[in-house]
Amino acid sequence: MKLIWDYMKLYWKRITSNMSIKLIGTMCELSLPYILEHIIDDIVPLGSVKLVVYWGLFMTFMAFVTRFLNVTANRLAVRVAADGIKKLRYDLFTKTSNLSGTRFDSFGLASLTSRMTSDSYNVQNFMARVQTMAVRAPIMLIGGIILTLTMDAQLALVLIIMLPILMGVVLFISNRGIPLFDRVQSRVDDVVRIMRENISGIRVVKALSREDHEMDRYKVTNDALAREDIHANRIMAIPGPFMEICLNVGLSIVVLLGAVRVDNGAIEPGVILAFLTYFNVILQAVMGLNRIFVMISKATASADRIALVLSDAPDQLVLDLARGDVPEDVCIRFDHVSFNYFTPAGSEDESARSAEAKGIRSMDKVSDQPIDRNELEKEEGRILEDISFDIKRGQSLGIIGQTGSGKTTIINLLMRFYDATEGCIYVDGRDVRSYEKDGLRNKFGVVFQNDIIFADSIYGNIDFERGLSYKAIRKSADDSGASEFIDRLEGGYEFKAAIHGANLSGGQKQRIMISRALAGDPKILILDDSSSALDYKTDAALRKAIREDYGDATTIMIAQRVSSVMSCNNILVLDDGRMVAYGTHDELLESCELYRKIFEHQMKK
């Protein structure tokens, strides 16, 4: 809840003004039954039609003022909530964008998505409603009690006796609501995860005719969400009927006692009418307080989930790390580096998030059964073990190995998406942990294995808001071979790519992504399986262009094809996270059986 107050404090002047308007409107609303009682008991007996009309018009005026002030306050509250949640979402998006790879995996993409959407909606709804209901409900409750006490203390005691019981029930149920709604939001994470998987993989689902299977899987998760939501709302709904019963019983007692006191001449009939109105006002106020506590339960659960992301510690920057014994001509050094993706042992929730991050599609989480940590470790056991090598400035390194051997992990560690479990990684003689994030990553031009084309023009996809010149973009497109098809597109570089490049072929997308990496004239160029969709001719032309036009750049090329890496200065052969061999193409043919088998298998096809 502290998170919500911190963001609301930014708009305290507007909130104060808004709550003042709501306070005046509520006071005007409270005056209406009192004015009615005055007209019935004091004005009508005088027999003056003029006074009745005058007081009737005054009551009508107060009703209009009440409505105007309440509507104004509600609109202002919505605006403040919209501004507050806009800033909160921006901060959450910024924080999410800067999470380390380990922390991103720990939260999980589905969970981060639901925190950005449904959780932020719960917080926004609370921000909007609390500014008005937190004023109206208490004032109507307290004001109604005070006014009824001034009219007839004995009748007011009936209500006063019931209030502690009602408030006790509300507080007791509300305390149970926070963990219930936290479980609901966890189920929302599950639903978002399955929806995301199916939307992104819809072609695979259709190609394998697995629509029914995926519908069943979604149904299980959706049903689990529905059960949690129904259970939470059923518990939170208990105070409502209980309050209505108590207050209606109290209202009946007031009517009976009031009738006796009117018959005895102790009070006037207008007091009974005003009392009934105030009783209804107090009933609505208590129900309003109940709704506030329900919103507090939802908002607190959601705010805690958001705060967990916002308060996550950033990657530690260690400025005083020793330079290490790295020669001046060495651009990159891996010094006995080991790494494990597995999240350290923790809570079951943390384990579940980690499993989700790794794509483990287990029904255990949906059915509330604990996840088998041994299976989890087995799934997450992709490691690097004791990797050491140097790349000199301007040289190239090819990395080859079977799927899952740790090739991409080396890049993740080099760019500090993750920190090594053991050992050190140096770039330009400095430990990567001593670099500011931008200072390190601005050195790189990179094409990832599962890179993305954005819904933007071809020019925009290559430039990526870096302010590059048209000459640099055109040159990079020529070198990657992309200009061959770009010039044939309608609009050329202004051609609008669809989301994920759906209106482009695989080879066209890869060439655009390579152009993006080359356009910034990087100091270190990384191509992670970026030529898999290129024909041999285009692949060979790309490697030639890199040698001739980007000879000063240190190049790391990850590939499945031996032909893509055989011209590199050195080649690193990985197998199951271990460094099998390191050397030139000719050296590896002589000394590395695994490399020789890969070469013979591919080149004899």
Q: What is the pTM of this model?
A: 0.68
Residues 479, 484, 490, 496, CA torsion sign: negative
Q: What's the CA gap between 296 and 597, in Å, rounded?
A: 64
Number of other CB atoms surrounding residue 206 within 10 Å: 11
Query: Which DSSP string do the residues of 316-349 spell out, in sequence order?
Result: PP-TT----S--TTEEEEEEEEEEE-PPPS--HH
Among 77-86, 264-273, 352-361, 432-441, top mean pLDDT goes to 77-86
Segment 160-172 shows an average pLDDT of 75
Amino acid at 117: T
What is the greatest pairwise CA distance in the chain? 119
What tokens appear for 464 in the block?
């990526």
Among 60-69, 128-137, 527-536, top mean pLDDT goes to 60-69
Work out the mean pLDDT of the chain and round it to a whole number: 80
| pLDDT value for 399 | 92
pLDDT beyond 50 at 345: no
What residues are paired with 496 via a beta bridge?
A: 457
Strands 570-575, 578-583: pairing is: antiparallel
Output the CA–CA distances (angstroms, integers) from residue 175 to 76, 105, 272, in the order listed.
30, 31, 37
Say which residue the tokens 């400095």 belong to: 430
Strand, helix or coil at 423?
Answer: strand
| pLDDT value for 426 | 92
What tokens appear for 336 in the block?
């006995």
Q: What's the CA gap between 257 and 388, in Å, rounded?
A: 91
| pLDDT value for 317 | 60
pLDDT beyond 90 at 279: no
DSSP-derived letter for residue 359 is T
pLDDT tens-place string over residues 554-597 = 999 888 878 888 888 999 999 888 999 999 999 999 998 888 88
| pLDDT value for 362 | 33
| pLDDT value for 334 | 93
Output the CA–CA distances (angstroms, integers) from residue 263 to 155, 218, 268, in the order listed.
15, 66, 9
Segment 280-303 shows an average pLDDT of 78
| pLDDT value for 364 | 33
Segment 200-219 shows an average pLDDT of 76
pLDDT beyond 60 at 355: no
Say which residue the tokens 């009117």 belong to: 262
| pLDDT value for 360 | 34
Lowest mean pLDDT among 305-314, 464-473, 474-483, 538-547: 538-547
Confidence band for 342, pLDDT divided at 50, 70 and 90? low
pLDDT beyond 50 at 347: no
Query: Which DSSP string do the residues of 453-495 spell out, in sequence order?
Result: --SSBHHHHHHTTS---HHHHHHHHHHHTTHHHHTTSTTGGG-
pLDDT beyond 80 at 478: yes
Cβ–Cβ under 8 Å, residues 300 and 382:
no
Confidence band for 405, pLDDT divided at 50, 70 and 90? confident
Residue with the larger pLDDT of the pair 456 and 264: 456
Strand, helix or coil at 273?
Answer: helix
Residue with the larger pLDDT of the pair 319 and 65: 65
Q: What's the CA gap between 409 and 383, in Å, rounded?
A: 8
Q: What's the CA gap between 261 and 533, in Å, rounded?
A: 92
Confidence band for 374, pLDDT divided at 50, 70 and 90? very low
Percentage of the residues of the chain whose pLDDT score is greater than 90: 11
pLDDT beyond 90 at 397: yes
Q: What's the CA gap between 491 and 230, in Å, rounded?
A: 53
pLDDT beyond 50 at 528: yes
Output the CA–CA distances (angstroms, integers) from residue 489 to 472, 486, 509, in the order listed.
20, 5, 13
Cβ–Cβ under 8 Å, residues 526 and 440:
no
pLDDT tens-place string over residues 71-126 = 999 899 899 999 998 999 999 998 888 887 778 878 887 788 888 888 888 888 88
Lowest mean pLDDT among 14-23, 248-257, 394-403: 248-257
Q: Phi-psi region for residue 416, left (φ > 0), alpha (ψ -120 to 50) or beta?
A: left
Say which residue the tokens 């307290």 belong to: 142
Structural domains present in the chain: 2-310 (1.20.1560.10), 315-340+385-443+524-605 (3.40.50.300), 450-521 (3.40.50.300)
| pLDDT value for 573 | 92
Confidence band for 291, pLDDT divided at 50, 70 and 90? confident
pLDDT beyond 70 at 356: no
pLDDT beyond 80 at 280: no
| pLDDT value for 181 | 77
Cβ–Cβ under 8 Å, residues 124 and 82:
yes
pLDDT beyond 50 at 366: no
Residue with the larger pLDDT of the pair 134 and 207: 134
Q: What's the CA gap between 526 and 353, in Å, rounded?
A: 30
